[in-house]
Structures are given as structure tokens and as C-alpha cells.
Amino acid sequence: MAEHEIPRATAKRLPIYYRYLKLLLDAGTTRISSTELSDAVKFDAATIRRDFSYFGALGKRGYGYDVKALLAFFSEVLNQEDLASVALVGVGNLGQALLNYNFHQSSNARISAAFDVNPDIVNTIKSGVPVYSLDDLEKQISDQRIEVAILTVPATVAQDIAHRLEACGVKGILNFTPLRLDVSKDVLVQNVDLTNELQTLLYFINNFSADEAK
């Protein structure tokens, strides 16, 4: 299908639309308006219509959106039919929780290889995923053609590992460390700082009403 030039903010909302549309279809809903979808995903209806407009005429005035057709469309946009293999670097408490989560049940990604320095877990299977020595990082990522990695290591080693990941062909890093990684423009980094998110939430609770914080 043709490529679409869309804003980053819109791109970040697409997986949310996809998940809710899947839930709606599973519940037997066949069509939905932007207002009804707004109630489900908590984005205003105007934002939804604007997001959808980047992809052409997805709905009909007076009818709304066909849930099955819309789900199929976003499935193609998000490449849901292609299962992406992901590397997890760092199998501590957070890393183990991510292994247990089992991404591929709700998305088109799965953790296929994990890496750690702890000799007690290297060469074992955790939640169905093999754990390799960090020394084997380059070989396994190359052999398995992995292009996405999740980083849950101490901040002191995060930059070095990011360089190694980039050198062996990784194109995207989901970074759970507090360090902001220095990588080339060819590598996309998505930062997930849980401490920062919690502190932000507490700040808004203490200083704003729920409506003002949105």
C-alpha cells in the first residue's frame, strides 16, 4: 500500500485505535462513530477524525466507520501480519516482567532473544525465551535478523550497549533506562522512564484537577 506522511503524534495513537477496534469487533460491534470511538479511547472526536483523514475517506457521513474494515486497514498500516522479533537486553526484575508479558498476544512483536551477564540465568529459558550471554549479542542479533531491542540495563552501561546494538543493525530501541542515548539518526529511540512518569503523575495530582491535567 502507499506510504502516508503523518505526524508523529498521530502515529503514536494508531496502535491504540487498533487495540480498541479489535475489542469492539470481538464484542460484536459492526460500526461506530467518531464520537463513540472517542468515548472508548479518550481522544476527542475531532482528533480522531483528523487522524483518520491522513489516510483518506475511511468513514461515511451519517454512517460512521465500519469496524471490521477499519480494523483490517489499520492492521495493514501497522503490519500486524508480520511478526517482528525483538531482543531484550537485561533480564533483571523489569526485564523478567517484560518477558512474562508476552507481547505477541496483543501485538505483532515478540521477544525472541534475551541477553544478560548473570551466569545463573545465561543459557537458560525464561518465559519461553532463551537467555544468552551479553558476549553473544552481535552474533545472535545478526543470526536472528533482529532490528528492535528493549534496553533494561543499568544506566552506566546503556550507552555502550546502544552503540553495540546500532553496530549490528538494530534500527529501534525501547529504552527503559534514565539515560538519553546518543545514537545516529538511523536509529529510533523511544524512552520509557517509569520514575519520571510517576513523578509527573504525582505532580499533576497535587497541583491540578483531573480535567486540567489532561
Binding-site positions read 90-95
| Dihedral angle of Cα 84, 50, 196, 188, to the nearest 10 degrees | 40
- Beta strands 172-175 and 148-151: pairing type? parallel
DSSP letter for each residue of 78-126: TTTTSPEEEEEE--SHHHHHHHHH-GGGTSSEEEEEEEES-TTTTTEEE
Strand partners for 86? 111, 148
Show binding-site residues for NAD(+).
Answer: 90-95
